[in-house]
Amino acid sequence: MPEVDVKKGEPIDRALKRLKGKMESEGIIEEMRRLRSFETPTQRTKRKARAAAKRNRGNRFRFTLREDKPKEESS
């Protein structure tokens, strides 16, 4: 569980914002939303397939960017 130290004189809103940011970066909020209701095995498979497709699109995009670069010739 992420912890946030509230500094002396710091508004509580700012500390809550930092806590929320830490929880989002660690994936806790997304996990809580997902676990709020039961997920059937079919839904789990579809969710994982969508995540894999998203990763694959990003990898393919980065790969095409790398191949489109002009090759530098060394002298």
CA distance 35 to 39: 8
- The residue that leads in pLDDT, 30 or 67, is 30
Is the pLDDT at 14 greater than 90? The verdict is: yes
pLDDT digits (tens, 9 = 90+) for 44-55: 999 999 999 999
**Segment 38-42 mean pLDDT:** 94
| Angle (deg, nearest 10), helices 28-35 and 12-26 | 70
pLDDT in tens, 54-64: 999 888 877 77
pTM above 0.75, yes or no: no
Which 3-state string (H, E, C) describes 24-42? HHHCHHHHHHHHCCCCCHH
